[in-house]
């Protein structure tokens, strides 16, 4: 499947799910349509301030199931999963980075950075139009990079 088609699928599912999820008192964190092995998965990540539980996931799954069938944005068979982004949630969207300025994060770069390597952690100090600034825990060094250069950026709740 072409990446653009997956992007269109995700956009359609996001537009369908966001008001339903909000109506249940939750926020939509992310939507992913991915192939793992021979199977396709539509993953809808939900969140709320005091954390998501299994009942929240079940309520969202039931609420979006029929509207997804009606919209029919996916041609092939897939597994629907509704889940929490977890404690070490991946920061993906601009609003995620903006929300967690000042938080401890872990970063894995696509390519090593001289003197730093591929993986490091620190405090998210700033975010502006895709540019991420991380300060080490000593407060002495800062590093800036474009989020497209990172394999992932995640919250580091265990630091």
Residue 90 gets which letter from DSSP? B
Quick one: pLDDT at residue 1? 32
- Closest by CA to 24, choosing from 72, 76, 59, is 59
Paired tokens of 115: 């003197």
Give, in order, the Cα–Cα distances in Å from 75 to each of 6, 34, 72, 78.
11, 14, 7, 9
Entry pTM: 0.80
In contact, 121 and 81? CB cutoff 8 Å? no
Quick one: pLDDT at residue 158? 64
Per-residue pLDDT of the chain (159 residues; tens, 9 = 90+): 333 346 888 999 999 999 999 999 999 999 999 999 999 999 999 999 888 999 999 999 999 999 999 988 888 899 999 999 988 899 999 999 999 999 999 999 999 998 889 999 999 999 999 999 999 988 888 999 999 999 999 999 765
Paired tokens of 111: 């390519």
In contact, 26 and 52? CB cutoff 8 Å? yes
């Amino acid at each position: 499947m072409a990446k653009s088609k997956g992007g269109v699928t995700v956009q359609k599912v996001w537009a369908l799910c966001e008001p339903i999820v909000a109506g249940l008192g939750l926020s939509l964190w992310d939507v992913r349509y991915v192939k793992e092995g021979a199977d396709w998965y539509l993953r809808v990540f939900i969140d709320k301030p005091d954390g998501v539980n299994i009942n929240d996931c079940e309520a969202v799954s039931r609420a979006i199931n029929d509207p997804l069938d009606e919209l029919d944005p996916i041609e092939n068979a897939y597994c629907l999963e509704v889940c929490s982004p977890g404690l070490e949630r991946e920061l993906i969207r601009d609003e995620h980075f903006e929300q967690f300025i000042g938080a401890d994060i872990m970063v894995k770069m696509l390519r090593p950075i001289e003197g730093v390597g591929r993986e490091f952690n620190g405090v998210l100090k700033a975010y502006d139009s895709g540019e991420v600034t991380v300060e080490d825990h000593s407060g002495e060094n800062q590093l800036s990079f474009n989020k497209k250069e990172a394999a992932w950026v995640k919250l580091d709740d265990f630091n």
